[in-house]
Amino acid sequence: MPLRRDRVETPDGDFWDFDWLDVDAAPGAPLVVLFHGLEGGSTSHYARALLAHLRVRRLRGVVPHFRGCGGTPNRLPRAYHSGDYEEVAAMLAHIRACTDAATRIYAVGVSLGGSALLNWLGREQANASRYVTAAAAVSAPLDLMAAGLAIDRGVNRIYAKHFLSTLKPKSLGIAARFPGLLDARRIRGARTLYEFDDAVTAPLHGFAGTRDYWARASSKPWLATIRVPTLVINARNDPFIPASSLPTPAEVSSAVTLEQPRGGGHAGFARGPFPGNVRWLPERLLNYFATVGAEPGAASPPADRSRQEG
């Protein structure tokens, strides 16, 4: 899919890489912003699926890359994390500034990106409506302690090893460029995401350690203060996110719609005969935005804010 890369200077003297889907948009069409997951980007399967649906519907889209995920090492000794609400805020402020004031902006966050987005929504409360009309979080690790322990256990360690295969080289690059900031020996020896977060994520971003990071960056406590219409989708069979850690309607604000299907895994939600297709998720997201955005012909919102389905 042809995307236009835009390198954006950050307020602190670094840069972001934004990948834009430029289409002959329909009059009044909204813009969909996708915040990717851990070590993801515009080439991730969920990003490609969503961008393909946007193109068919003649809607614009953009994938901002967290620092270090655009393919080029960043200038500053900084990365990204699940509670990176300040980065989300700055990215959305840039997008809002270079977009027509009448354009509705819908924000989607997947996995880590969903956690950071929910952190921002809960902190901003009603002020978030200055930047986005509605939002959605998909497979977000709402309780980082529960999710962090789950990914480092059993067969999930295969996925942890996969993430570490790119996280560790990037972090060793930071350690080499900024001597004394990180302990390269600890980075090389990290075998779990807990150990990696303790050696890299926490010291880079002002946390006392992994447990402090997981406690302070979890988005679950912020669900009760969100004021912008927000869809939160979590499969109950997600291998990284224990179903017991998912919120109930009593733990979220009236602006939040919980959707917890029995199947879907982590950011998968495949449907149809084997091997399945990944159309369900982008269709669900765009239909939700059409509903809460009050577009002509939109369906009525569901009466029950918590949905569980097969």
Give the phi and the psi of residue 5 in degrees, each rounded to 5.
-90, 135
Length of the chain equals 310
Give the start-end residues of each E strand in 111-214: 134-138
Question: Active-site residue numbers?
Answer: 111, 238, 266
Pairing of strands 134-138, 105-110: parallel
**CA dist., res. 104 & res. 31, Å (int):** 6
**CA dist., res. 200 & res. 48, Å (int):** 29
**Which two tokens mark 94?**
């840039």
**Which two tokens mark 20?**
């834009």
User: What angle do the packed helices 157-177 and 144-151 form, to 10 degrees?
Assistant: 100
Contact 261, 270 (CB under 8 A): no
Q: Match 């989607």 to its residue by tokens.
A: 108
**CA dist., res. 64 & res. 87, Å (int):** 10
The SS3 assignment for 243 reads helix
Per-residue CA distances from 150 to 100, 121, 153, 158 (Å): 43, 26, 5, 12
